Amino acid sequence: MLAKIYLGNRFSQGSLSEVDKANIYNNLAGRLEAVYDTKIKTIYLGDRLDVQSVYGRSVIAHELVHFLQDVNQHRAKVECQNALEKDAYQLQVLYLKKTKFSACATKF
């Protein structure tokens, strides 16, 4: 199974209701850079995210962790949903450190 990834306003191509689209847009326009939708196994990236940058790729890696957690039913196995974020942030920081992008890696 593959995750679909939409950048910016291209998420309108998906099979979302107008309410879901509005909620995702509001999240991305606010503080979130990316969102993973478990219902349709789709990652949405905000327009401001530079996917060619090391940091942008780290955000994609973070969201891919959520996709893998979902398809492996990891959500059902944890008591605290924050544990899912912890896993994703740990991988993101590791990626940033491996690419020697430590200035950003320390902000988590």
Q: Which residues contact 46 (CB under 8 A, 6 or more apart)?
A: 8, 28, 29, 32, 33, 34
Residue 22 — pLDDT band, cuts 50, 70, 90?
low
User: Got the DSSP string for 50-77?
Assistant: -TTSHHHHHHHHHHHHHHHHHHTT-GGG
Which residues on adjacent β-strands are paired with residue 4? 42
Which single residue is written with the structure tokens 């099979």?
Answer: 15
Domain holding 72, by residue range, is 4-105
pTM: 0.70
- pLDDT tens per residue across span 23-44: 666 665 666 788 888 888 888 8
The total number of structural domains in the chain stands at: 1
Residue 94 — pLDDT band, cuts 50, 70, 90?
very high
